[in-house]
Amino acid sequence: MAGACEAFHKGTIVGVNLPSRSARGKARSEVPACTRLGKQCRTLRVLLRIGGLDEGRESLDHEATWLLGHTERISFEDLWAGEGDLYADALLHVPCRYLQAGDGAGRCSAHGFEGPLPEVARSLQPRQLEGDRFRVVDGMRLVTRTLPPTRRPLPVLAQANPCAGAPCRTADNVQGAACCRDLQIEIMCTRGQRRLEALVRARKPPYLCKVTRPGDFSLEAEMVSACGYLGADQISCTLHGRHRADGRAAKPDLCSDWPPKGKGLHPGCVFGPGRPAQET
């Protein structure tokens, strides 16, 4: 696994190095070993693991569609299989917690570096196109597909969607559809990739937080990055009720799995402790 991810975290670092004494007194293990301001101050190139190939193509299509849908703060590049797993190259658009930025310039509060910040180009990655066309993962490739609904839906009653009007919120205190606006990711990072790990752990919370190391080869983290399949009301899912050409549901399976009653995932969740029982 180390060979698979070694080459995917190397970024071009440019900027002006104006060292100061401001880094003194900080725990060095908490501060990335940077030498100047660079692209790593505002974005981070990583390799994300989606799942094992032994799960099968259909399952991975659902998992990858779900992951690649969360485009608010993640740009996805190549989707590829290797060493028994499916991976996605990605850029995490979450700044470093030590960055103080404004008017194209920045300062590192950990090291004291000051200077212009390099541009971070970012292209739009819409998942909803015109009409019934969407960008989804099919055959472990990101493709454009026409996904008409099986029938034109009638107006949805509030009780048909237990999350409609729920006061749930994500860690950034944005209310509504919390399960569709944050996610857990697995970042490939060996124990030897100390700088990459430090850069991940230094991202600005709550947009990337709760970083843990479950094993020798990867980190797990939570991100706030809304799903690109959310409807105009920012609650409904535009894939709901649509099917692929082979009959499979277009909406990822895990999006239809409600949490157990009393086990809500977010503050204000209708399935949380003490909430009235919901019809599902």
Q: Please give the mean pLDDT across all residues of the chain.
A: 85
Once rounded to an integer, what is the mean pLDDT over residues 255-268?
Answer: 75
Amino acid 47: pLDDT: 98
C-alpha 53/C-alpha 75 separation (Å) is: 23
What band does 83 get if pLDDT is binned at 50, 70 and 90? Answer: very high
Instruction: Extract the tokens encoding 251.
Output: 């909406």
Contact 228, 127 (CB under 8 A): yes
Once rounded to an integer, what is the mean pLDDT over residues 86-113?
Answer: 96
Give one DSSP letter per residue of 31-56, joined into a string: S---SS--GGGT-EEEEEEEEEGGG-
User: Exposed, middle or buried by CB within 10 Å (0-12, 13-18, 19+), for 94?
Assistant: buried
What confidence tens digit (pLDDT) does each residue in 52-71 have?
Answer: 999 999 999 999 999 999 99
Amino acid 5: pLDDT: 41
Amino acid 274: pLDDT: 64
Total residues found in the chain within this entry: 280
